Amino acid sequence: AHGSYGAADTGERWQNAYSIDRFFNAVDAVNANGTPTCRINAVAVTESERVHLRHRAGEVLEREIGDVTEAIEMYREALSGHSGYGPSIDALMRITRNPDHRTRAAEIVEPLLREQRRFDDLVQLLEQGLESITDPLERRTELQHLAEVHERGRSNARDAFAALSRA
CA 33 from centre of chain: 24
Q: Are strands 36-37 and 29-30 parallel, antiparallel or unpaired?
A: antiparallel
pLDDT per position as a tens digit, 72-83: 999 999 999 999
Task: Tell me phi and psi for residue 75, to 5 degrees.
Answer: -65, -40
Strand, coil or helix: 36: strand
Specify the pTM. Answer: 0.74
Q: Give the residues across from 1 on adjacent strands.
A: none
For the segment 25-74, what is each residue's pLDDT rounded down to a tens digit? Answer: 555 444 455 555 556 655 656 889 889 989 999 999 999 889 999 999 99
- CA distance to 35, 164, 165, per residue, from 66 (Å): 11, 39, 40
Q: Which residue has the higher pLDDT, 21 or 86?
A: 86
pLDDT at position 50, please? 87
Nearest to 27 by CA among 35, 37, 16: 37
Whether residue 44 contacts residue 53, with contact meaning beta carbons closer than 8 Å, is answered with: yes
Please give the C-alpha separations between residue 105 and each of 7, 101, 117, in angstroms, as whole numbers: 43, 6, 18
Beta strands in the chain (DSSP E): 29-30, 36-37
